[in-house]
């Protein structure tokens, strides 16, 4: 069961509100409420807040910074890419683009299997569409997709060697 679905189920139970009654009050179909409560379908914070408001409650989302758990290799890769991102501008991207495209071709000839080939396709799309912000997000992201994309990063050879050495010395 999803956290949101469990929260919805608990509030309904504590307040004696059936799925049918919540459906009538909210205008959300009962089968959808059933799927939310059972965890078959996840609902967004906005949907949950709307359903809770029909029962006299609001959703409070508490946000706090959480340091992710990265293994040594993931941490080192993130630090190198983060340093590289400090140099990334539209202008530097134009200069780097031929190298990046060549690196993608080279990686494609050596890499097989998923998620690597899919991630190379994603890199190619970001480069082909000049999505500098999207590239920046992958370089600095701590979500699983960004971490996996950096495993087949086409950014090799772009970070000045002295900066690369400084990052690696600090990462040990």
Q: How confident is the model at residue 171 (pLDDT cuts 50, 70, 90)?
A: low
Question: pLDDT by residue (tens digit) across 66-106?
Answer: 889 999 999 999 999 999 999 999 999 999 999 999 999 99
* pLDDT of 172 above 80: no
DSSP 66: -
Residue 31 has pLDDT above 60, yes or no: yes
Q: In the prediction, which pLDDT does 63 show?
A: 85
- Using alpha carbons, list the distances in angstroms from residue 124 to 7, 22, 99, 103, 157: 41, 47, 12, 10, 17
User: Count H helices, E strands: the chain?
Assistant: 10, 0
pLDDT band at 113 (very low <50, low <70, confident <90, very high): very high
Task: Cite the residue boundaries of each domain of the chain with CATH code 1.10.260.40.
Answer: 3-53
- Pick from 127, 85, 82: nearest CA to 103: 127
**pLDDT at site 170:** 85
Residue 164 has pLDDT above 90, yes or no: yes
Top-level class of domain 3-53:
mainly alpha
Residues 129-157: tens digit of each pLDDT: 999 999 999 999 999 999 999 999 999 99
């Amino acid at each position: 069961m999803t956290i949101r679905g469990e929260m919805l189920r608990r509030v309904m139970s504590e307040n004696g509100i059936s799925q049918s009654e919540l459906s009538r009050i909210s205008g959300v179909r009962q089968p959808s409420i059933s799927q939310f409560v059972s965890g078959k379908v996840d609902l967004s914070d906005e949907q949950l807040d709307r359903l809770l408001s029909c029962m006299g409650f609001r959703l409070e989302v508490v946000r706090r910074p959480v340091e992710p758990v990265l293994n040594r290799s993931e941490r080192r890769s993130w630090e190198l890419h983060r340093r590289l991102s400090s140099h990334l501008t539209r202008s530097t991207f134009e200069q780097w683009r031929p190298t990046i495209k060549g690196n993608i071709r080279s990686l494609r000839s050596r890499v097989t299997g998923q998620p690597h080939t899919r991630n190379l396709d994603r890199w190619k799309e970001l480069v082909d569409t000049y999505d500098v912000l999207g590239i920046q997000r992958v370089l600095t992201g701590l979500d699983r997709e960004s971490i996996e994309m950096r495993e087949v990063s086409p950014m090799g050879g772009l970070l000045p060697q002295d900066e690369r050495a400084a990052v690696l010395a600090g990462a040990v």
